[in-house]
Structure 1
């Protein structure tokens, strides 16, 4: 079996490759593609694999835009952190999906479905239905992250994150249990994956959880100092220009 992986998270790629090899050591992974443009170029110049594992959310856009430029006529298994109730379209079509973090059992089940897939299938109608289903959902942000820690991959729920800060061009995740995890990514990329109702980019160094905010203090020149319910590496200051937006976010009420 030949496969292509479209995924921009290094840890997720490692996990998927490990699981695939544990199921079938003869599987040939032809390419790992990290963004939309790279994927379009590869599928435009190479023969179709047997299966594509494709993350829905990529750094430069959603993966559905790939299908606007190339006709991928092979089995596609999406990997996603979207809520399963938003993805009913997958269940009634030949394309399957896997919720992150991916388990060996769910991967085996998806691969079993490949036996019934016809290489002549046209994915365009299925993709359109999936996009419609997803766009109807308000909450389409990640609910958990798979974080590499030594030789393991640790799932961390977004609900458990108190704040994220930048250190040496990496993102350090601090949870409410005071455990820290480091990811080789920028705060900008991390912010795109978080629910803006729950997280706010306070400044260049910090993304903070609404649940972690204890209170606010007036600071110099109209700025705000944000006090969290747990210690932080340095004081969190919101600029005067962003203070109004922050207050609106902080004072929001849940439905």
Structure 2
């Protein structure tokens, strides 16, 4: 089976390649493409690809824009972090999807389904399907999407860590650490400022310069001197999490919202 991966996050594409090789060593990844422009160029020329694994959000736009510029006449499996409403739309349009973080068993099932479809009839994406998907995306354009998974390194492999499973992010000895609900600590290469921008502000709050806390991890608040607050979290943080007097009122409003 010859596959093209369209994905702009290096860690995510590496993870896909790892899973594909683990599932079937005879799978050949022909190319890894990270932009709409590069994908249009690739599929505009003769190729041997039999299947495409495609992320929705790419470095220079939405992947559905590819189909407006070039015909892709082979099956596509989308990798997506969309909500259940969008996933239902994918089902209606008979296009396969995999919800990130990609699970090996689900990927295996998708590849099996692909093989079944190929035996019956090869299919790409028709105009009606494309219009439906573009309408879905454009109708949702004003809604900001937030990061729902962090790929973290653990020994010689990449581990998908769901954002909701992270209790707090903390700067420790100059590097950013993510502490999970089961009290595991993972190192991240991202800056805390960039992480803050990628998180849903209704669920995460930048308590101070060193820490971003998940609402669900907060056990209680304690009054501190000069109008400050101390946040108690679970799992317990080895560093005291203090909210300044200037942010205390805003933080309490956020907690009560």
TM-score (norm 2): 0.73
1:82–1:99 CA contact under 8 A, matched in 2: yes
Mark the CA change 1:128 to 1:70 in structure 2 (over 3 Å): closer, same or farther: closer
Distance 1:223 1:152, change over 3 A: same
Asked if residue 247 in structure 1 is aligned to residue 243 in structure 2, the reply is no
Cα RMSD after superposing both structures: 3.6
- In structure 1, list runs of 5 or more residues that go unmatched: 34-38
User: 2:37 aligns to what?
Assistant: 41
Q: Which residue of 2 aligns with 1:8?
A: 9
Is 1:30 paired with 2:27?
A: no
Q: 1:68 to 1:47 in 2, by over 3 A?
A: closer
After TM superposition, give the deviation of residue 54 of structure 1 in Å: 2.9
- Please report how far the alpha carbon of residue 225 of structure 1 lies from its aligned counterpart in structure 2 after TM superposition: 3.8
Q: What does the per-residue CA deviation read over 1:152-182, in whole Å, with 9 as the maximum and x for residues that have no partner?
A: 4445444432211134775311123322112
- Evaluate the alpha carbon distance shift between residue 97 and residue 69 of structure 1 in structure 2; reply closer, same or farther with a 3 A threshold: closer
Residue aligning to 2:196: 191
Work out the CA distance in 2 between the residues paired with 1:235 and 1:229. 12
Task: State the match for 1:73 in structure 2.
Answer: 71
Secondary structure of the 2:93 match is coil
Q: Name the TM-score, length of structure 1 as normaliser.
A: 0.73
Gaps of 5+ in 2: none
- Describe the shift of the 1:120–1:143 C-alpha distance in structure 2 as closer, same or farther (beyond 3 A): closer
For these two proteins, the number of residue pairs brought into alignment is 241
- Separation in 2, partners of 1:174, 1:227: 14
Shift of 1:119: 4.7
Distance 2:63 2:98 in 1: 20
